Amino acid sequence: MEIHVYSNSRKGLCLNSIKKDFKGFLVIPEGSIGIVFVLSGSAVINAQSLETLLGEGEGLMIKRTSSIKVISLKEDFTSLVCSLDIQVLSAILSTLPCYALEPNQVVCANQIRVPSIDSIKLLVKSLHSYHQNNFHLSPEWSEISENMIKEFFWLLYHSNIHKELSGFLYSIRRPNRFVFDDLIEKHFKDNLTLSELAHLGGYSISTFKRKFESIYNSTPGKLILNRRLEEAFFLLQNSDKTVNEICYEVGFKNPSHFIKSFKCRYGITPKQQTKRNVA
């Protein structure tokens, strides 16, 4: 497996190109979003325990993740991968209408499939050309990339996924959400009490609960359970570990609770999911 690590660029986009026969991980830095565009061929993208098949001209935009697994499916596969610092993105998009929608108008999402749209494909091809010619190393790159980022999100907003886009961007506009996202991501495997979680976030228990529930419309316990199940699903698909090993690794105290919760979420048992992978 290859591993590509992306640096955190405060000047705009960090770009890389991956080509045929790539099977590996893209490591996106903390505080950034990752975008994978398929220029030719197709690939399976696995992020946050969700598997997405992307064809030519399509993309996937992902936040709240540290690594993205990519498996190319065709010999002519070429992809452009972008890493963008969230603070830079927030400053660039602050004037766009999709950035200012109120929470009751959006449904938050951690990843968005970017459809194959001619205008977006042309923009991505231009980015790829800039990267191939090392234009992203020039002093003017910051200003050029800022305009291209604005154009990309403006085109997305005027596509048929504008509602999903608004939800994706909502938690970028609400930095408190990223504090909680980060807290859950770092500690969902640990058996911490609500008091311990609140302390780690720098809140009293009452303030922690109030802020958390106002952002997610859910409790910390439910979100931690869902995150453990997502991680377990990913490990069942992508590792040779046993059901019991995965159960304890993701934070469950006993296999019976794990199996019951997994079946309630996915409709099958962990063992049945393992058999599916073998088949």
pLDDT digits (tens, 9 = 90+) for 136-160: 778 888 788 888 888 998 898 888 8
Q: What is the pTM of this model?
A: 0.61
Q: What is the CATH number of the domain that holds 73?
A: 2.60.120.280
Least reliable range by pLDDT among 28-37, 94-103, 114-123:
94-103
Q: What is the CATH number of the domain that holds 189?
A: 1.10.10.60
Least reliable range by pLDDT among 6-10, 93-97, 154-158:
6-10
Looking at the predicted structure, is the pLDDT value of residue 214 above 90? no
Residue with tokens 């807290």: 183
Confidence band for 83, pLDDT divided at 50, 70 and 90: confident
- Nearest to 221, CA basis, from 194, 201, 195: 194
Between CA 78 and CA 42 the distance in angstroms is 8
* Same-domain status, 187 and 131: no
* Same-domain status, 73 and 167: yes
pLDDT at residue 3, as a whole number: 47
Q: Looking at residue 123, what DSSP letter applies?
A: H
Residue with tokens 């505080």: 31
164 or 12: which leads in pLDDT = 164
* Same-domain status, 155 and 25: yes
pLDDT digits (tens, 9 = 90+) for 166-207: 777 766 666 566 678 778 888 999 999 999 988 887 788 998
* Same-domain status, 203 and 80: no
For residue 267, count CB atoms less than 10 angstroms from its CB and return exposed for 0-12, middle for 13-18, buried for 19 or more: exposed
* Same-domain status, 158 and 38: yes
* Same-domain status, 117 and 196: no
Estimate the crossing angle of helix 205-216 against helix 194-201, to 10 degrees: 90
Q: Looking at residue 10, what DSSP letter applies?
A: T
Stretch 254-276: mean pLDDT:
91
* Same-domain status, 236 and 204: yes
* Same-domain status, 150 and 61: yes
The amino acid sitting at 191 is N
Long-range contacts of 165-169 (CB under 8 A, 24+ apart): 165/98, 165/112, 166/98, 166/101, 166/105, 166/106, 167/106, 167/107, 167/108, 167/109, 168/61, 168/63, 168/108, 168/109, 168/110, 168/111, 168/112, 169/93, 169/98, 169/99
Average pLDDT value over all residues in the chain = 81
Residue with tokens 């980060």: 182
Last residue of a domain, one of 149, 173, 197: 173
Confidence band for 239, pLDDT divided at 50, 70 and 90: confident
pLDDT at residue 105, as a whole number: 45
Q: Are 36 and 68 a contacting pair, CB within 8 Å? A: yes
- Nearest to 72, CA basis, from 7, 26, 120: 26
Least reliable range by pLDDT among 78-82, 117-121, 125-129, 171-175:
171-175
Structural domain including 8 reads 2-173
Looking at the predicted structure, is the pLDDT value of residue 242 above 90? yes
pLDDT at residue 102, as a whole number: 54
Q: Are 105 and 29 a contacting pair, CB within 8 Å? A: no
Confidence band for 57, pLDDT divided at 50, 70 and 90: very high
Confidence band for 108, pLDDT divided at 50, 70 and 90: low
Confidence band for 64, pLDDT divided at 50, 70 and 90: low
Asked whether the CA dihedral 38, 32, 249, 271 is positive or negative, the reply is: negative
66 or 87: which leads in pLDDT = 87
For residue 124, count CB atoms less than 10 angstroms from its CB and return exposed for 0-12, middle for 13-18, buried for 19 or more: buried
Report the domain count for the chain: 2
Looking at the predicted structure, is the pLDDT value of residue 111 above 70? yes
* Same-domain status, 122 and 237: no
Stretch 241-269: mean pLDDT:
95
